[in-house]
A and B are shown apart, each in its own frame.
Chain A
Amino acid sequence: KNEVEQSPQNLTAQEGEFITINCSYSVGISALHWLQQHPGGGIVSLFMLSSGKKKHGRLIATINIQEKHSSLHITASHPRDSAVYICAVSTYGGSQGNLIFGKGTKLSVKP
């Protein structure tokens, strides 16, 4: 079993829909990251969080430390949100660079 699990693996939505991507982890963490990988391959860091909730534009990330679960929400989705969304964790006691990655959720938003 992977230490970081994401669901769903693939997600197709219509423009305007509210989207949720889930991430569960089985290790103690110091931080959780949400990344976006564009179709061209580049990676953008969206959020880094260790508790609570963060919001940036139409993106919201939440984390529940007790349940070892995080969610990434996209409100009013748009075709330009189409990308692979990756959850990653920095383990507690590990070096901050030693991230463990989920396999990603491929999101396709149709116009």
Chain B
Amino acid sequence: NAGVMQNPRHLVRRRGQEARLRCSPMKGHSHVYWYRQLPEEGLKFMVYLQKENIIDESGMPKERFSAEFPKEGPSILRIQQVVRGDSAAYFCASSRQGANQPQHFGDGTRLSIL
């Protein structure tokens, strides 16, 4: 039973390009969470999604960032027109439906902007 799968593990982009980060939740999990860890800083919540719905996007920057979790396929975190400040580790977690279910984390995607 695979855990939360994130790909790619490492992603290098030049300024102005688009970055797409993928997250496949654990089997049976319908909730997905994205977190960002900037260099030398703690984790920060970005967005919480269920299938085809954004539940809480209060941690997402207002511009250039978007997230989706379609009916079929992985959740995607998309960053348009990347800038140096987007360099970070992006973690995805998933959980079952229901209040206060434990979250299971992926290994993260390390995004580097040249």
Chain B hits for A42, CB < 8 A? 105-108
Q: Which positions 2-59 of chain A face chain B at CB distance < 8 Å?
A: 30-31, 33, 35, 40-45, 48, 50
Task: Flag if B100 contacts A86 (CB, 8 Å).
Answer: no
Interface size on A, residues (CB 8 A): 26
Given A42-B105, A44-B105, A48-B102, is A97 in contact with B33 using a C-beta cutoff of 8 Å?
yes
Chain A hits for B110, CB < 8 A? 41
Which of A33, A41, A44, A48 touches B108 (beta carbons < 8 Å)?
A: A41
Task: Flag if A98 contacts B103 (CB, 8 Å).
Answer: no
Which of A30, A41, A90, A101 touches B44 (beta carbons < 8 Å)?
A: A101
A66 lies within 8 A of chain B by Cβ = no
Task: Flag if A45 contacts B42 (CB, 8 Å).
Answer: no
A96 lies within 8 A of chain B by Cβ = yes
A110 lies within 8 A of chain B by Cβ = no
Chain B hits for A100, CB < 8 A? 45
Task: Flag if A101 contacts B42 (CB, 8 Å).
Answer: yes
B contacts, CB < 8 Å to A:
31, 33, 35, 41-45, 47-48, 55-56, 58-59, 89, 91, 93, 95, 99-108, 110
A contacts, CB < 8 Å to B:
30-31, 33, 35, 40-45, 48, 50, 86, 88, 90, 94-104
5 CB-based A-B contacts, threshold 8 Å: A43-B108, A45-B104, A90-B100, A98-B58, A104-B42
